[in-house]
Amino acid sequence: MSAEPEKALAKCRERIDNVDLRILALLNERTSIVEDVGRIKKQAGMAIYEPRREDQVFSNVTSNNQGPLPSDAVKRIFERIIDEMRKIQKDRMGEKGL
């Protein structure tokens, strides 16, 4: 491989690394908010799992998706994020299962 493609790849990878760090910061910000939600739900005696709210999240992100990531991929990513956030709420609230 010549030097030009290697330089171009290195620049792309550096940009990806920077984006990854921004995503990480946003995920941690979201986690802090989810912890607040968990505390509120625990005080109010509410369930962690709220399918209607999850549907709202999926609708929000897929309807605002302008690509190039396909909306079905966006939904799968957010399903995973929500699963992890629900686990954090359960762990913090001391509950087992859903």
pLDDT of residue 2: 78
Select from 43, 40, 35 the least CA-distant residue to 86.
Answer: 35
pLDDT tens by residue, the chain, 98 residues:
678 999 999 999 999 999 999 999 999 999 999 999 989 988 999 988 999 999 999 999 999 999 999 999 999 999 999 999 999 988 877 754 33
Structure confidence at residue 96 (pLDDT): 44
Instruction: Write down the pLDDT at residue 28.
Output: 97
Domain boundaries, the chain: 3-93
Q: What is the pLDDT of residue 80?
A: 98
| CA dihedral sign of residues 67, 70, 71, 73 | negative
95: Cβ contacts below 8 Å, ≥ 6 apart: 48
CATH code of the domain made up of 3-93: 1.20.59.10
